[in-house]
Amino acid sequence: MFLASLILGLSTVFFMNSVPSVRLDATGREMAATIRHARSVAQNRGEDQAFMINLDTKQYGLEGRGMKAIPGEISVRVDDPFAGEIRSGTYPIHFRAYGGAEGGTVILQGRKKAIYIQTDPVVGSVATRQ
């Protein structure tokens, strides 16, 4: 009985420590998918689209559409190639109808790891790395 309760207690601690990491991964995947969607909409409709991230309220989405929340334990910032590190305000990543993109790298930071979501300025592709 003691051994079973010890294993159960240790597995609970392990599970509780892995939940923030899973939330960070899920948020990174969802955000990257939304950015890719903005690129796809721009190319398919032949009109510019903007992915917006509000660093103050920790929300993101396509301009003029619904916003999704970033979990509270995840910090977010943007590394802009011209302005440097941005930690507040609203930041747009623009996708052009011809395929280019204007914007920096979105960095999602958890307790133990970070996810970097970067757009290619020439073709507008989206890459994610940890």
Give strand pairing partners of 106.
78, 117
Residue 2 resides in a domain: no
Q: Whole-prediction pTM value?
A: 0.83
Amino acid identity at 98: Y
CATH number, domain containing residue 61:
3.55.40.10
Question: What is the domain range of residue 68?
Answer: 19-129
Given this model, what pLDDT does residue 10 score? 55
In 3D space, the residue among 50, 52, 47 whose CA is nearest the CA of residue 101 turns out to be 50
Residue 14 resides in a domain: no
The count of structural domains within the chain is 1
Residue 34 resides in a domain: yes
Residue 1 resides in a domain: no
Given this model, what pLDDT does residue 9 score? 61
How far is the C-alpha of 110 from the C-alpha of 69, rounded, in Å? 15
Q: Give tens-digit pLDDT for 91-103.
A: 999 999 888 899 9
What are the DSSP E strand ranges found in 1-130? 49-54, 59-62, 68-69, 75-80, 84-86, 90-95, 101-102, 105-109, 114-119, 126-129
Instruction: Give the pLDDT means over successive 10-residue stretches in the chain (130 positions).
Output: 64 55 91 94 93 96 92 95 94 91 94 93 90
